């Protein structure tokens, strides 16, 4: 699969000479299929891993900590990803296991656009407790951040099967390219119930 590259406008000629191609629909540069990704590393964010579509969206609901209304929440997952070893000349390895991603520092804006067609409440928002911005759920009523720690690490979080979660559903979003993400990653046993 082709891999999305994050090329600044002033770098576009250099990327083109290196072999990057332009996708006019998504308005992004990408590395051709079966490329040596090390050649394109300048355009993959540091510490990013590459997610292979489809993007699996888990949908849930929770009570907002601020306004106490029930709000929609979601989490992004994939069945496969490509990770690099951290050597000087990294080796890129595909791993096949369902993972969820949270504390998302970086996500291509074209991927955000796809997600926001379903979840306009998915926003790049400042977290006081982390002291930085990240891509996260916000309340559909009051707009406040619904922090990822509670959604992914508390024992009654909505994206596990430790508790019954009849309101948690899932959907798959198609996306043309393998794309970089900078985030934490975790497993969930919910997958076995929803049978992705």
**6 contributes a contact to Zn ion by CB under 5 A:** no
CA–CA distance, 99 with 89 (Å, rounded to integer): 26
Q: Which of 39, 93, 109, 142 binds Zn ion (CB under 5 A)?
A: 142
Residues in the interface with Zn ion (CB under 5 A) total 6
Could you say which residues in the range 155-194 bind Zn ion, by CB under 5 A? none
Minimum distance from residue 166 beta carbon to Zn ion (Å): 22
Cβ atoms 15, 28 nearer than 8 A: no
Closest CB to Zn ion among residues 66, 110: 66
**For Zn ion, what does the binding mask look like between residues 93 and 122, x meaning CB under 5 A?**
------------------------------
Q: Which of 44, 139, 145, 190 binds Zn ion (CB under 5 A)?
A: 139
Could you say which residues in the range 48-87 bind Zn ion, by CB under 5 A? 64, 66-67
Phi and psi at residue 38, to the nearest 5°: -65, -30
Per-residue tokens: 45:
């964010």
Cβ atoms 33, 20 nearer than 8 A: no
Minimum distance from residue 17 beta carbon to Zn ion (Å): 49
Cβ-in-10-Å burial (0-12, 13-18, 19+) of 185 comes to middle
What separation in angstroms does the CA of 33 have from each of 1, 19, 67, 179? 5, 11, 47, 13
Q: Which of 2, 18, 110, 141 binds Zn ion (CB under 5 A)?
A: 141
CA–CA distance, 76 with 32 (Å, rounded to integer): 25
Closest CB to Zn ion among residues 41, 72: 72
Closest CB to Zn ion among residues 57, 139: 139
Query: Which residues contact Zn ion by CB under 5 A?
Result: 64, 66-67, 139, 141-142
């Amino acid at each position: 699969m082709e891999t999305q590259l994050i090329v600044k406008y002033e770098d576009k000629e250099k990327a083109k000479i290196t072999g990057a191609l332009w996708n006019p629909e998504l308005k992004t540069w990408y590395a051709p299929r079966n490329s040596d990704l090390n050649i394109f590393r300048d355009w993959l964010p540091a510490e990013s891993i590459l997610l292979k579509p489809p993007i699996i969206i888990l949908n849930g609901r929770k009570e907002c900590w601020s306004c106490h209304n029930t709000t929609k929440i979601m989490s992004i997952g994939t069945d496969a990803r490509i990770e690099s070893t951290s050597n000087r000349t990294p080796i890129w390895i595909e791993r096949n296991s369902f993972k969820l991603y949270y504390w998302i520092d970086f996500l291509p804006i074209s991927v955000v656009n796809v997600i926001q067609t379903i979840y306009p409440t998915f926003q790049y928002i400042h977290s006081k407790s982390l002291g930085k911005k990240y891509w996260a759920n916000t309340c559909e009523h009051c707009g406040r951040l619904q922090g990822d720690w509670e959604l992914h690490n508390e024992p009654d979080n909505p994206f596990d099967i430790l508790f019954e979660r009849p309101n948690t559903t899932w959907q798959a979003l198609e996306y043309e390219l393998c794309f970089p993400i900078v985030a934490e990653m975790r497993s969930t046993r919910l997958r076995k119930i929803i049978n992705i």
